Amino acid sequence: MIKIKIDQDKCKGCLLCVNFCPRGLIKKSPKLNKQGLNFVEFDLQGDCSGCLQCAVICPDCCIEVYKSE
């Protein structure tokens, strides 16, 4: 199982990860972070492949991908 951790307070809402997720599991949140910006959220119901594209493309290193056993 793959676990995605997004640092929502660090996210500036550039949406690069949204565009690069091949399964469309990352979405823009209607909520605001401490910076007053819409951050991104991971769809917990989705089936993430763990491809790491979201973590690699994030310019602020807000996304971490973990593989749990």
Tokens at 7, concatenated: 């640092």
User: What are the extents of the domains in the chain?
Assistant: 2-67
CATH fold of 2-67 reads Alpha-Beta Plaits (3.30.70)
Portion of the chain with pLDDT greater than 70, in percent: 99
Cα distance between residue 11 and residue 7, in whole Å = 6
Q: HSE (CB half, 13 Å, CA atoms) of 14? A: 14
- The predicted pLDDT at position 33 comes to 96
pLDDT digits (tens, 9 = 90+) for 10-35: 999 999 999 999 999 999 999 999 99
- The predicted pLDDT at position 46 comes to 83
